[in-house]
Copies of this chain bind each other. A is one copy, B any other.
Amino acid sequence: MHEPITQSLTADCDRLGVGLEVNTKLSEQDRAVLRALPISIRTLVPDQILMEEGDRPTHACLVLSGLLCSHKVLADGGRQIIAFWVAGEVPDLQGLHLSTMDHGINALSTARVALVPHQALRELSAGNPAVAAALWRKTLIDAAIYREWIASLGRRSAYGRIAHLICELYTRFHAAGIASDHTLPLGLTQDELGDATGLSTVHVNRILQQLRGEALIRTRGREVSILDWFGLTRAGGFDPAYLHLKTAG
C-alpha cells in the first residue's frame, strides 16, 4: 500500500489517454487535455458495488488499477457478467448519453478508480472533436466485444467459451500493459468465470482441468499461464480482429 504517491498520481492523470491509445492514436495536445480533467480518486475493495441498475450517475469512472465488471441480475437471481474492465478503461462511458444504468458495476479485486464528472467529459467532447471521436470509438469497441460475447454464448461450447475468454483477456491485459509472458493475473474465482461464460462453477472447474490436461494452460492460484497460445486460440476460435487494437489497424 506504500506506493510512491507522486509518481502514481502522475500516472493516474495520464491513465485515460494511455487507455484510449490502446485503440486510437491521440496527439500530445489531446492527451494534455485529458490530463487536465478534474478527477477524484477512490479505492474499492473486492466485491464493492460502484453502481447499480437503475442508478443515475453524475460521474464516469476510470479504472486506474484492479479489475471491475459489469453485470446483470435476472429475475430468478441468476447473475451474468457482461464485461470486464481493466486499467485505462471507463466501464460506464455509456452514462455520458444514457441517464439510467441498465446494469450494475462492481470491483472484482481491490481497485483504484478516478471519478470524472460527466459534465466535464461532455464539455471536453463538445470542444475537442478528436477526443470525442476517441471516446465514441472506445464505446464502439466495447460494443464489438459484446458482439463477440453474444456469438460465444450462443454458439460456442463451454470448452470453447472459456478458451476464448482467456485469449481475449490475455490480449486485452497485454495491450493495457498489465500482462506479459503469457501470464495473466486474472484474479477471478471459478464462480465468477462461470457468471461470465454462462456456466456453473462445477462445469468451469472441469473445463479448466481439461485445458490443463491438454497442456494449454497452467493455473497457480488465480493466475493463469498460457502454455500453448496457438492451441488455445484454436480451442476458442479466437481471432483478435474484433478488439480493434490500434496495432492491428
A residues in contact (CB < 8 Å) with B: 54, 70, 72, 74-76, 78-80, 82-83, 94, 96-100, 102-103, 126, 129, 132-133, 136-137, 139-144, 146-151, 153-156, 195-198, 237, 241-242, 244, 249
Contact check: which of B80, B137, B151, B196 meets A98 at CB < 8 Å?
B137
- On chain B, the residues within 8 Å of A132 by CB distance are 132
Do A97 and B142 have beta carbons less than 8 Å apart?
Answer: no
- Closest chain B CB from A218 CB (angstroms): 25
- On chain B, the residues within 8 Å of A148 by CB distance are 72, 102
Do B150 and A149 have beta carbons less than 8 Å apart?
Answer: yes
Please measure, in the bound complex, the distance between the C-alpha atom of A153 and the C-alpha atom of B161, giving whole angstroms. 13
Please measure, in the bound complex, the distance between the C-alpha atom of A196 and the C-alpha atom of B150, giving whole angstroms. 9
Do B242 and A102 have beta carbons less than 8 Å apart?
Answer: yes
Q: In the complex, what residue of chain B is closest to A244 when comparing beta carbons? A: B98
- Having A75-B237, A102-B242, A149-B150, one finds 8 other A-B pairs with CB under 8 Å, namely A74-B151, A82-B151, A98-B140, A102-B144, A146-B147, A150-B150, A154-B196, A154-B198
- Closest chain B CB from A4 CB (angstroms): 37
Please measure, in the bound complex, the distance between the C-alpha atom of A168 and the C-alpha atom of B209, giving whole angstroms. 38
